[in-house]
Amino acid sequence: MGELVSGGNRTLPDGSLAIRVPGPFDLSVLITGDNGKVAGDGDFVFFNQPSAPGARLHGDTVTVDPRSLRAGASRVTVAVSPADPGTPLGRLPVPAMSVTGNGGAVLARFTPPQPTYETVLLIAEIYRRGTEWKLRALGQGYADGLAGVARDFGVDVLDDDPPPVRSPSPSPDGFLPRVNAERSRAGAPPVTLDARLASAAQAHAASMAAHGRLGLESPAGRSVFHRVAAGGYACLSIAEHIVSGPRTPAEFVDYCLAAEQRRLPFHNPAFSHVGLGRATGGPSGDVYWTALWAQPFTPAGLARLASDVVILTNAERAGAGLAPLTVDPALTAAAQAHSDDMVARDFYAHTTPEGRRPWDRAATAGSTHRGIGENIACGQRTPAEVVLGWMNSPGHRANILKPDFTHIGIGHAIGSHAGTYWTQLFGMA
């Protein structure tokens, strides 16, 4: 029997599992494919629809048989909500989960950090990795109610349902007014608090406090970007402050504004949302902070981002006396699919886990180019930063300045360990 922490996982034996969360809670289950979306409303198991192939809800226990799920299912996410709708989970006991296998043997237990204003907690997920099924502890909160969770997973929610419950401000002592006053001085538009970012920030701050150390990842390998994605926030760009020491939000803001690099998110006009998390822990009672700044994803925004990378790449080619590259839809599709895949499956490589290489992916996307080249990068936050990084690397620079290349496609995705994943795919006519 293993005690899990947020982000911790373990391999599951064959057979059915019983997941139990006792207390004044309702359990729900969302069955999804590799794209993270349900195939239909039947994939949402809750008190009014207590069963689906491979999953059955009874009282405080949901039974899941991974190998009996519907075709194409690769993930089962378990959500906990108050039995009294709208009650913040922070007013209730901490929802503690136990997982038992065939014969009643306890396989795992998980007690998440105490939620605060959230009204739903994604407590665990069962997911397929290769031929195995695994269990991962989550502890990711939502402030939008069960309807908000369902919408993010692709469930059709009736328009006459009540609107999602929004969280109270998680920023005492005037955090947001101070932030927006600084943005106004810098000529940037104001930001608003987003409950999903706040939940991810709070969970990350609590994890740092529990382990007594700063970092983008927990010891179990769960990054702050994993938490943002798990909370259902799709972003086009993101920045973070990971800080310990300041005791109040005012001190935290002053600390961030005292250095040029830390000040950048406050002045970035692209950001429209922010979330703040604060937790105390460690032997000295240190205060740990996570602030997340984000620009929400839109298809048009992604197209502009890719166009900026192409413009900067062609500027480098022009400086070397080379012809510009033309954007190719097939190369773009293949590049975007690879960035998305690296985020979804937590890897970073030109070759996928099953051995597919850049030219394989280009051909699958419909490319007929006789030669293919690929640059990838992770962690860079802007088109200028990623192109500069490639130009400072001899191998990547050689691809950008290769005279034989005539076409290009760009991919960009956010999540996983590094936060940003870039793909630049080249083709010869």
Whose CA is closest to 313, among 298, 296, 295, 325? 325
Beta-bridge mates of residue 74:
none
Question: For the packed helices 260-267 and 175-185, what is the interaxial angle rounded to 10 degrees?
Answer: 90
Helix axes 260-267, 249-257, angle to 10 degrees: 110
Dump the DSSP string for 361-401: HHHHTT---SEEEEEEEES--SHHHHHHHHHTSHHHHHHHT
The amino acid occupying position 96 is A
What pLDDT is attached to residue 220? 75
Amino acid identity, residue 339? S
Amino acid code (one letter) for 367: S
Bridge-based pairing of strands 55-58 and 51-52 is antiparallel
Per-residue pLDDT of the chain (429 residues; tens, 9 = 90+): 578 887 788 999 999 999 999 988 989 999 999 888 888 888 999 887 899 999 999 989 999 999 999 999 999 999 998 887 667 788 888 899 999 998 788 999 999 888 776 788 899 999 998 889 999 998 877 766 676 677 778 776 443 333 333 333 344 568 999 999 999 999 999 999 998 899 899 999 988 888 888 899 887 788 999 889 888 889 999 999 999 999 999 999 999 999 999 999 999 999 999 999 999 886 667 899 999 999 999 999 999 999 999 999 999 999 999 999 999 999 999 999 999 999 988 899 999 999 999 999 999 999 999 999 999 999 999 999 999 999 999 999 999 999 999 999 999 999 888 899 999 999 998
Q: CA end-to-end span of the chain, whole Å? A: 58
Crossing angle between the packed helical segments 383-391 and 299-319, to the nearest 10 degrees: 30
CA angle (40 as vertex; 35, 43 as ends), nearest 5: 85
At 336, list the tokens. Answer: 């975007």
Q: What confidence score (pLDDT) does residue 90 get? A: 80
Q: For the chain, what is the radius of gyration of the CA atoms?
A: 23
Going by C-alpha positions, the residue among 147, 191, 138 that lies closest to residue 169 is 191
Q: What does the alpha-carbon distance between residue 171 and residue 115 come to, in Å, rounded to a whole number?
A: 15
* Strand (E) or helix (H) holding 292: strand 286-296
The pLDDT value recorded for residue 148 is 66
What SS3 class is residue 4? Answer: strand
Nearest to residue 203, comparing CAs of 180, 161, 231? 231
Contacts 24+ apart (CB under 8 A), 144-147: 144/119, 144/120, 144/195, 144/196, 145/81, 145/85, 145/86, 145/119, 145/120, 146/26, 146/28, 146/46, 146/79, 146/81, 146/85, 146/119, 146/120
Which of helix, strand or coil describes residue 274? strand
Q: Give the span between the Cα atoms of 360 and 376, in whole angstroms.
A: 16
Q: What is the C-alpha to C-alpha distance for residues 226 and 138, in angstroms, rounded to an integer?
A: 10
What local confidence, expressed as pLDDT, does residue 86 receive?
A: 60
Kindly state the tokens that stand for 162.
Answer: 């009540």
CA distances to 324, 373, 386 from 308, rounded to whole Å, are 14, 20, 11
- Kindly report whether the global pTM for this prediction surpasses the value 0.75: no
d(CA 372, CA 333): 14
Task: Say which residues have a Cβ less than 8 Å from residue 250's Cβ, sequence separation at least 6.
Answer: 173, 174, 175, 178
User: Which tokens sit at 53?
Assistant: 């192939």
**CA–CA dist 272, 188 (Å, integer):** 10
Residue 324 in contact with residue 245, Cβ under 8 Å? no
CA-angle at 289, arms to 179 and 386, nearest 5°: 75
